[in-house]
Structure 1
Amino acid sequence: MGTWDVGPFDNDTAADFCGDLDEAAVGEREGIVRSTLTRVIDTTGYLEAPESEEAVAAAALVAAQCPGGEPADPVYGTDEPLPDLTGLCDLALQALDRVMTEPSELMDLWAESDGGPWRANIRRLQNVLLPQPPTEQLSLI
């Protein structure tokens, strides 16, 4: 596993996933992100690290389009435009929850080192993906 930092795009698997998205036809990109998230959500047994790393990157791409979301990594994120992924917020949240639930290889790997900053990044993504409360509109009378 080539991992160089704690961000969602800071590993070889996530960088490859973003490269695959760039190479996919525009109309297929949302489906690829959706299936990546769904595959992790549907894993009931041991969740392997590569699937988790792809799901974290996919969730970060969704979060990047939400209010308060950070842009995707300019080097290892996607280069090509993505369609509106904000309809996948719930799936992205579920996938992140699954990555953070045993049995999860990625969670175990980060537990073996100082995984606090990695967990903090996951929590930040989750907070961005949570449904936003409606804003109150002031009526001027």
Structure 2
Amino acid sequence: MGAWGFQAFENDDALDWLEELEAGGAEVVRQGLTAVADGYIEAPDGSVAVAAAEITAAAQGNPHGDLPEEVATWVTAHGSALTAEDAQLALEAVERVAGDKSELAELWDEADEPEWKESLDNLSERLREALT
């Protein structure tokens, strides 16, 4: 796993995906979230889904305090296209990535990094707040 930290944008897969995000709109975020809808979730798809969920939370007014500049810029320019339905989709994606059918969850468990799970709990809470 090409990760140097447990936050959503501290891994190669999420940063590579940001290039796609720059070229596309809200549909790229939705694709990132729906890629983890079924079956076993491979680590790259899980990393992208978490990044997409962070963008969705930010677009709903609940950003993480440490968003990369290019993400904050994208949210300012395009975030209004992400709706409460997208926030629900993001919440479901985060729950699946944190679950027992997720390679990413297995890798972070093996690395004994409880901060990763705590960061997902925080993200889930920010998404729930967007839904109320």
Which bin holds the TM-score, normalised by the shorter protein?
0.7 to 0.9
Aligned partner (choices 32, 48, 66) of residue 28 of structure 2? 32
Deviations 1:66-124 (A, max 9, x none): 34422562257465432322431100000001101122100000001122101111000
Q: Which has the larger radius of gyration?
A: 1
Where is the helix percentage greater, Structure 1 or Structure 2?
2
Using the size of structure 2 for normalisation, the TM-score is 0.85
Task: From 108, 115, 131, give the equivalent of 2:106.
Answer: 108
Q: CA RMSD in A?
A: 2.1
Query: What is the alpha-carbon distance in structure 2 between the residues aligned to residue 133 and residue 4 of structure 1?
Result: 31
Deviation (angstroms), 1:19: 1.6
- Give the number of aligned pairs: 128
Letter in 2 for 1:31: E
Unaligned runs of at least 5 residues, structure 1: 135-141
Residues 2 and 86 from structure 1, CA distance in 2 versus in 1: closer, same or farther, beyond 3 angstroms?
A: same
Deviations 1:22-67 (A, max 9, x none): 123xxxx1111112211212x22x2100000000000000111234
Q: Provide the C-alpha distance between the structure 1 equivalents of 2:52 and 2:112, rounded to a whole number of angstroms.
A: 23
**Contact conserved, 1:8 with 1:57, CA < 8 A, in 2?**
yes
Q: 2:41 aligns with which of 24, 33, 47?
A: 47
Following the alignment from structure 2 to structure 1, what is the Cα–Cα distance between the partners of residues 13 and 49? 10
- Sequence identity percentage: 34
Residues 60 and 72 in structure 1, CA contact (< 8 A), matched pair in contact too: no
State the TM-score, normalized to the length of structure 1.
0.80
The answer to which of 53-62 and 11-20 deviates more is 11-20
**Aligned pair in 2 of structure 1 residues 11, 76: CA closer, same or farther (>3 Å)?**
farther
